[in-house]
Structure 1
Amino acid sequence: MSIAALFMMLVIAQTSQGFSWVRGNRVCPRGWNLYGRHCYLFSKEKVNLKDAISKCADAVGSGRLAEVGGYREEKWLELQIKLRGMHDGVWMGASDILKENKFLKLSNARKIKYTNWNKGEPNNASKKEHCVEWVGNGKWNDNSCGKKNFFVCEHV
């Protein structure tokens, strides 16, 4: 299955399901961390983007890769990531696989509003970088979707 097809399947799955029990009670599943109205699960293994998407979906029935919505959320995530020793790359829920340099959320194919790109990024090096990763300096980078990274799942 192509990355583009996987992207579209994920968008369809995400838009058809809700998690009212999390929104209403603000309770996270065991092992997840609450921030605001979202729950987060931090991986202990490195996988490619496709496997990260699958693992997040399997974790709670249809979780997703974390999608950073703003500065405060990103700083909280950055602290959690650093505390867990996930310093060398963490997948985020955004990609420009459908159209170069038009980064969309993986959950609903909407344009990402908040960004924090590393200097000179995104650059699509070797014409193969379509997936967004958080790197150790707290900035974002576009990288090959086949790279193995840690990941953060989000349950809305």
Structure 2
Amino acid sequence: MSFAALFMLLIIAQTSQGLTWFNAHRRCPKGWSWFSGHCYFFSKEKATIKDAITKCAYAVEGGRLAEVGGPREDKWLKLQIKIRGMNRVWMGASDISDEGKFLKLSNAKSIKYTNWGKGQPDDYKTEDCVELLDRGTWNDRNCVYKDFFICEQA
């Protein structure tokens, strides 16, 4: 079997989506990372959540702050921020419109998966935005602070 044929079989075997994985990976913009059908950009600068939302939207068509859909994605993002030396990053969720009811920033739908740290969310000093900490848990934080951020493109 040729190397090319073996390579294609390996790609097909490693994903239930077949060549979709290969094509999705090739569509990520330069400087972005691929994971499970999505492209991610990890900022090198800190910004308020408002500025982070704007930067993600302008970075690429369909860009938004990362919205964690499940434990696998959450674990991968935690690993990525640890590798990059980021201690906290903004995520695309907030309860600013209704205290205690966290919604996705992209479409105002309820978030289904959460990974809050012990005692969180606590709304200490009006904390309405969500950040991922390098220890892997989530925290609510005042939206005016500057954090690193992760952009996502589906």
TM-score, scaled relative to structure 1: 0.82
CA RMSD of aligned residues (A): 1.5
Q: Deviations over 1:97-131 (max 9, x none)?
A: 110000000011000000000100101012x1000
Give the secondary-structure state (helix, strand or coil) at the position aligned to 1:73.
helix
Query: CA offset at residue 24 of structure 1?
Result: 9.5
Q: Tell me the residue number matched to 1:80.
A: 80
Tell me the distance in 2 between the aligned counterparts of 1:139 and 1:48.
20
Give the secondary-structure state (helix, strand or coil) at the position aligned to 1:152.
strand
Tell me the distance in 2 between the aligned counterparts of 1:136 and 1:32.
20
Tell me the distance in 1 between the aligned counterparts of 2:144 and 2:78.
23
Q: Tell me the residue number matched to 2:122.
A: 123
Q: Tell me the residue number matched to 1:28.
A: 28
Flag the 1:150–1:139 CA change in 2: closer, same or farther, 3 A.
same
Tell me the distance in 2 between the aligned counterparts of 1:34 and 1:42.
12
Tell me the distance in 1 between the aligned counterparts of 2:72 and 2:93.
18
Give the secondary-structure state (helix, strand or coil) at the position aligned to 1:125.
coil
Q: Tell me the residue number matched to 1:95.
A: 94
TM-score, scaled relative to structure 2: 0.83
Q: Percent identity?
A: 62
Query: CA offset at residue 25 of structure 1?
Result: 3.0
Residues 56 and 63, structure 2, Cα contact 8 Å, conserved in 1? yes
Q: Deviations over 1:1-60 (max 9, x none)?
A: xxxxxxxxxxxxxxxxxxxxx999302111111101100000000110000000000100
Structure with bigger RCO (C-alpha 8 Å, 6+ apart): 1
Ranges in structure 1 where 5+ consecutive residues have no aligned partner: 1-21
Residues 78 and 135, structure 2, Cα contact 8 Å, conserved in 1? no
Give the secondary-structure state (helix, strand or coil) at the position aligned to 1:133.
strand
Give the secondary-structure state (helix, strand or coil) at the position aligned to 1:58.
helix
Tell me the distance in 1 between the aligned counterparts of 2:151 and 2:44.
12
Residues 78 and 133, structure 2, Cα contact 8 Å, conserved in 1? no
Q: Tell me the residue number matched to 2:70.
A: 70
Query: CA offset at residue 155 of structure 1?
Result: 0.3
